[in-house]
């Protein structure tokens, strides 16, 4: 007995005008690669929890973030660095502390990923799509 393949068309067909319109409207590969890297950065559960803590708490130092998520400071620092490389987190020095906060793009992406799992509707400052760039 052979298993039917239900995920492909049984007939080769192409609505060329429609398909071409979609293809020409796709973002450039470099933009898609950047977006994929940002999404991958949130693929780690610890990083996603740290990002969720920043979404809720605003700005946190490594000590506070590590306590909130229940992870060692060196691990938290590593994950914050990865989020920063992905452009989802920014940092600033405040005396002897380094404070971390989500970027605009980070807030939008974290809110979207966690939308089904949180009561967070829209974090402050996220009223339109222009926030994705910051």
Sequence length of the chain is 134
Rounded to whole angstroms, the Cα distance separating 109 from 132 reads: 8
The label of the residue with tokens 């380094």 reads 98
Answer whether 53's CB lies under 8 Å from 83's CB: no
Answer whether 131's CB lies under 8 Å from 107's CB: yes
More confident residue, 92 or 12: 92
Q: What is the pLDDT of residues 60-104, one digit of tens each?
A: 999 999 999 999 999 999 999 999 999 999 999 999 999 999 999
pLDDT at 127 over 60: no
Q: What is the pLDDT of residues 41-60, one digit of tens each?
A: 999 999 999 999 999 999 99
Strands 60-61 and 89-94: unpaired
Split at pLDDT 50, 70, 90, the class of 124 is very low
Rounded to whole angstroms, the Cα distance separating 75 from 95 reads: 22
The structural domains of the chain, ordered by start, are 44-133 (1.10.10.10)
């Amino acid at each position: 007995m052979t298993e039917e393949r239900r995920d492909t068309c049984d007939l080769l067909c192409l609505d060329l005008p429609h398909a071409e319109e979609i293809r020409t409207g796709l973002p450039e590969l470099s933009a898609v690669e950047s977006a994929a890297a940002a999404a991958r950065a949130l693929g780690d559960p610890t990083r996603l929890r740290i990002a969720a803590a920043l979404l809720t708490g605003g700005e946190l130092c490594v000590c506070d973030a590590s306590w909130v998520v229940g992870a060692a400071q060196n691990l938290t620092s590593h994950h914050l660095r990865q989020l920063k490389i992905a452009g989802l987190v920014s940092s600033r020095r405040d005396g002897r502390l380094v404070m971390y906060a989500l970027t605009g793009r980070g807030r939008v992406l974290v809110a979207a990923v966690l939308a089904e799992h949180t009561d967070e509707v829209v974090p402050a400052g996220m009223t339109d799509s222009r926030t994705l760039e910051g």
